[in-house]
C-alpha cells in the first residue's frame, strides 16, 4: 500500500518517478525534487495546498494585449500600455494578459530568445512590475519551444554549454506519421552541430525548436524561469502549447500522460510558492481532449474554452443556436478549484479544430466561406491522411460580424455586442482582446508587410490616433468601448456571474439562446437571453417560470419587470439579463 503523501518533497518525488519512469537518470528523484524546491525557495516539508479553492470571483476580467498594442512617440510601450489601462479600462477590468514581452525572433513573441529579460523595445522589468502592482498580471510560459536564435540553441549547435542537451531530436526514418501537427511545415529541421548532423523536432516552425523534457535539466531551467516571473509580479501563468510538450516517436505526441504529470508538478511548485497563483493551459485541441487538463482539480486551474469562439460565431452568422446549445449542455460544470477561461477573440485567429465533432464538415465549410467573404484569411494544416484542412480563421472579430451567411447587413455593431454579452455571462472568467474593446478592424497594411495571416488582427494603435477615434461620434470605436464597458460594469457586480456559479441551458427555440445562472449562495438568479437572429422576436416571460414573489429587473436596460405574463420584444441581436436582485 502506497504511503500517504504529506510533504512537498514526497509529492514531487512521486510525480518525477512517473514522468521519468522509462528514463535512466544520473540524479535520484529525491535529489531533483530538492533542487526544484530550493529554486522556488521553499521547504521540503511544506504543506501541500488545498486543491479545491477558488482564487477568483465575478469581479475578474482579463484583457488580452501585446505590450505594444498602443504606442506613442518617445515612450516605452509598456508605459503607454499602463496609461491606457488606467485611463480606459481600470474601472471594469482588473487583470491583464501581456502576450510574450521577451526578446524574440518570430511569431510575434512566441519564438523566445531570452526568457529572463524584457524586450528592450517594449520597456523593462520595472514597467512590468508597475503593471502587476495595479492589475493581476498574466504572462506566457512558452514552454514547448524557444527561438533557434537563443543562446541555448547556439550551445546545442556547438555541442557544449547550457542548452547543448535541451532539444528534442529524431531521425527521418523513424515513424512520425502519427504526430499531430498544427502546421504544414516539415516536422524535422536538419542542423549541423559539433556532434554531427541532428534533426531537431519543430512542432510549429523551424525557428521554434522544441525542448526535450526527457532531460530533467530542462524542467529545472523552467522552474528557475517560473521563480523569476513570480518575483516580477506574475500571478497567472499561461502554459503555451503545453499539449505538445512530451514526444514519443510512433505516437501522436500530443496530450501524453507525461505532459499532464508535468503540469501537475509545476502546479505543485507554483501554488506552494504563491497560493493565489493560477495556471491556465493553452490547448487548441478538440473539446474532449481540452477538458482533460483540469485533472481532478490538481492540474490546470483554468482551461481555454476554445470551442466557444467558432460555435458562437457560427450561431450569430447562421441565426441558429443549435450547435452552441448542444455543446453548452454537454459541458461539465467546473468544480471548485477550476474554471473556464472564456474568450471569443485573441491574438490568434478563430481555431477550427475545437469545433471538429461539434460542427459538421458542411457547417465548417460555410463558416470558412463566409469569413473569407468578410475579408478574412484562412490558415491550413495537413490532416492525418495528407489532406489540407482549415485550421484557423484570421480576421478581426468586429469584421467577422459584418453579416450572416447570406452576406453583409446593417447589424454589424449589434451582432458584435451580442457576442460579448453572451460571453460575459457564461460560466467562467471572460478574457477580452484589446482589439475587441476598441472595435479594431482588419489590418491589411500589417498583413501585407508581414505576410502572416494572424497579423490581420494585431494592429498597433498610435495613441493619438486612438484617442481621436474614441472621441469621434461618427466612428464605431467609442460606441464599442462604451457598450462593452457598460456590460462589464454590470457583470462584475453580480454574484450569479461568479465563474463557478450554477449554469443551466434554457430551451427557447433556435433563435433565442439562453441560460440561467444562480449565485453560490442561491440568492441571485439571472436569466441570460439573446436574440441571435436579424429579426425581432418575442420572449414570453411565462416560459422562464420566474418566481412571482421575487422582484425582477432587466439589468442591461435597468427596466423593472412588473408583469410576469407579458412578452418582451427582443430586437435583432439584443440581450437581456433578467435578475431577481
Task: Quick: pLDDT tens for 217-252.
Answer: 999 999 999 999 999 999 999 999 999 999 999 999
Q: What would the mean pLDDT of 42-68 be, rounded to a whole number? A: 88
Phi, psi of 312 (to 5 degrees): -70, -40
pLDDT beyond 70 at 5: no
* Model pLDDT, residue 67: 98
Residue 404's beta-bridge partner residues?
A: 407
* Model pLDDT, residue 424: 98
* Model pLDDT, residue 428: 98
* Model pLDDT, residue 109: 95
Q: What is the pLDDT of residues 56-66, one digit of tens each?
A: 999 999 999 99
- Going by pLDDT thresholds of 50, 70 and 90, the confidence category of residue 183 is confident
**Length of the chain measured in residues:** 581
* Model pLDDT, residue 286: 81
Please give the Cα distance from 245 to 211 (Å, whole number). 8
* Model pLDDT, residue 52: 86
Pick the range with the lowest mean pLDDT from 50-54, 248-252, 480-484, 494-498.
Answer: 50-54
Q: What would the mean pLDDT of 527-553 be, rounded to a whole number? A: 95
Task: Give the domains, in start order, of the chain with CATH numbers.
Answer: 502-579 (2.60.40.1180)
* Model pLDDT, residue 1: 39
**Catalytic residue (choose from 240, 348, 399, 443):** 240
Secondary element (H or E) of residue 289: helix 287-291
* Model pLDDT, residue 13: 96
Q: Is-catalytic flag, 22?
A: no
Q: What would the mean pLDDT of 558-577 be, rounded to a whole number? A: 95
Secondary element (H or E) of residue 259: helix 257-273
- Work out the angle at residue 364's Cα, subtended by the Cα atoms of residues 319 and 507, and round it to the nearest 5 degrees: 40
The closest of 52, 63, 238, 234 to 140, measured between CA atoms, is 238
Average predicted confidence (pLDDT) for the chain: 95
Secondary element (H or E) of residue 147: strand 145-147
* Model pLDDT, residue 47: 66
- Going by pLDDT thresholds of 50, 70 and 90, the confidence category of residue 353 is confident
pLDDT beyond 80 at 49: no
The closest of 92, 69, 121 to 82, measured between CA atoms, is 69
Q: What would the mean pLDDT of 503-509 be, rounded to a whole number? A: 97
Q: What is the pLDDT of residues 286-328, one digit of tens each?
A: 888 999 999 999 999 999 999 999 999 999 999 999 999 999 9
At 518, list the grid cell.
Answer: 444562480
- Residues with Cβ within 8 Å of residue 384, at least 6 apart in sequence: 178
Please give the Cα distance from 500 to 506 (Å, whole number). 18
- Going by pLDDT thresholds of 50, 70 and 90, the confidence category of residue 333 is very high
* Model pLDDT, residue 4: 53
Task: Report which of residues 51 and 60 the model is more confident about.
Answer: 60
Q: What is the pLDDT of residues 394-430, one digit of tens each?
A: 999 999 999 999 999 999 999 999 999 999 999 999 9
At 307, list the grid cell.
Answer: 470551442
Query: How many CB atoms are located within 10 Å of the residue 108 CB?
Result: 16
% the chain with pLDDT above 70:
98
Query: How many CB atoms are located within 10 Å of the residue 269 CB?
Result: 27
The closest of 493, 568, 570, 488 to 524, measured between CA atoms, is 493
Q: What is the pLDDT of residues 15-40, one digit of tens each?
A: 999 999 999 999 999 999 999 999 99
pLDDT beyond 70 at 3: no
At 333, list the grid cell.
Answer: 460544470
At 264, list the grid cell.
Answer: 501537475
Residue 530's beta-bridge partner residues?
A: 513, 575
Q: What would the mean pLDDT of 537-542 be, rounded to a whole number? A: 96
Query: How many CB atoms are located within 10 Å of the residue 344 CB?
Result: 25
Instruction: Report, in this order, helix, strand and coil percent for the chain, each rounded to 5.
Output: 35, 20, 45
- Going by pLDDT thresholds of 50, 70 and 90, the confidence category of residue 284 is confident
Amino acid at each position: 500500500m502506497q504511503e500517504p503523501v504529506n510533504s512537498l518533497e514526497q509529492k514531487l518525488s512521486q510525480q518525477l518517478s512517473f514522468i521519468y519512469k522509462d528514463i535512466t537518470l544520473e540524479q535520484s528523484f529525491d535529489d531533483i525534487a530538492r533542487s526544484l524546491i530550493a529554486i522556488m525557495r521553499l521547504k521540503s516539508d511544506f504543506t501541500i495546498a488545498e486543491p479545491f479553492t477558488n482564487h477568483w470571483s465575478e469581479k475578474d476580467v482579463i484583457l488580452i494585449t501585446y505590450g505594444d498594442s498602443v504606442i506613442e512617440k518617445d515612450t516605452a510601450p509598456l508605459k503607454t500600455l499602463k496609461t491606457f489601462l488606467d485611463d480606459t479600462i481600470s474601472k471594469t477590468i482588473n487583470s491583464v494578459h501581456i502576450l510574450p514581452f521577451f526578446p524574440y525572433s518570430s511569431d510575434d513573441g512566441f519564438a523566445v530568445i531570452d526568457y529572463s529579460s524584457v524586450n528592450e523595445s517594449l520597456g523593462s522589468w520595472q514597467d512590468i512590475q508597475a503593471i502587476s502592482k495595479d492589475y493581476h498580471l498574466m504572462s506566457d510560459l512558452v514552454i514547448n519551444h524557444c527561438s533557434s536564435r537563443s543562446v541555448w540553441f547556439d550551445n546545442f549547435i556547438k555541442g557544449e554549454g547550457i542548452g547543448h542537451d535541451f532539444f528534442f531530436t529524431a531521425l527521418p526514418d523513424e515513424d512520425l506519421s502519427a504526430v499531430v501537427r498544427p502546421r504544414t511545415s516539415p516536422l524535422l529541421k536538419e542542423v549541423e552541430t559539433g556532434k554531427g548532423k541532428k534533426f531537431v523536432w519543430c512542432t510549429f516552425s523551424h525557428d521554434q525548436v522544441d525542448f526535450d523534457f526527457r532531460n530533467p535539466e530542462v524542467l529545472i531551467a523552467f522552474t528557475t524561469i517560473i521563480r523569476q516571473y513570480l518575483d516580477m509580479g506574475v500571478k497567472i501563468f499561461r502554459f503555451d502549447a503545453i499539449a505538445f510538450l512530451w514526444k514519443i516517436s510512433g505516437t501522436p505526441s500530443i496530450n501524453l500522460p507525461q505532459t499532464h504529470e508535468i503540469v501537475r508538478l509545476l502546479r505543485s511548485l507554483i501554488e506552494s510558492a504563491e497560493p493565489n497563483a493560477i495556471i491556465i493551459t493553452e490547448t487548441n485541441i478538440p473539446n474532449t481532449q481540452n477538458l482533460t487538463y483540469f485533472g481532478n482539480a490538481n492540474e490546470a486551474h483554468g482551461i481555454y474554452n476554445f470551442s466557444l469562439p467558432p460555435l458562437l460565431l457560427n450561431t450569430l452568422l447562421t441565426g441558429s443556436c443549435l450547435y452552441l446549445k448542444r455543446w453548452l449542455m454537454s459541458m461539465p460544470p467546473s468544480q471548485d478549484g477550476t474554471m473556464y477561461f472564456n474568450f471569443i477573440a485573441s491574438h490568434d485567429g478563430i481555431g477550427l479544430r475545437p469545433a471538429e465533432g461539434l460542427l459538421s464538415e458542411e457547417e465548417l465549410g460555410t463558416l470558412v466561406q463566409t469569413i473569407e467573404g468578410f475579408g478574412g484569411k484562412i490558415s491550413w494544416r495537413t490532416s492525418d491522411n495528407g489532406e489540407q484542412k482549415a485550421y484557423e480563421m484570421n480576421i478581426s472579430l468586429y469584421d467577422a460580424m459584418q453579416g450572416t451567411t447570406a452576406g453583409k447587413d446593417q447589424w454589424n455593431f449589434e451582432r458584435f455586442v451580442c457576442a460579448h454579452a453572451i460571453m460575459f455571462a457564461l460560466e467562467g472568467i471572460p478574457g477580452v482582446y484589446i482589439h475587441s474593446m476598441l472595435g479594431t478592424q482588419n489590418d491589411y497594411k500589417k498583413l501585407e508587410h508581414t505576410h502572416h495571416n494572424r497579423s490581420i488582427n494585431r494592429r498597433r494603435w498610435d495613441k493619438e490616433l486612438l484617442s481621436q477615434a474614441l472621441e469621434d461620434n461618427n466612428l464605431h470605436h467609442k460606441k464599442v468601448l462604451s457598450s462593452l464597458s457598460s456590460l462589464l460594469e454590470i457583470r462584475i457586480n453580480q454574484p450569479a456571474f461568479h465563474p463557478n456559479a450554477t449554469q443551466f441551458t434554457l430551451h427557447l427555440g433556435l433563435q433565442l439562446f439562453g441560460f440561467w445562472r444562480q449565485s453560490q449562495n442561491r440568492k441571485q438568479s439571472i436569466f441570460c437571453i439573446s436574440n441571435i437572429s436579424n429579426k425581432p422576436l418575442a420572449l414570453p416571460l411565462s416560459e422562464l417560470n420566474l418566481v412571482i414573489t421575487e422582484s425582477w429587473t432587466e439589468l442591461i436596460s435597468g427596466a423593472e419587470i412588473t408583469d410576469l405574463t407579458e412578452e418582451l420584444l427582443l430586437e435583432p441581436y439584443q440581450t437581456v439579463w433578467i435578475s431577481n436582485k
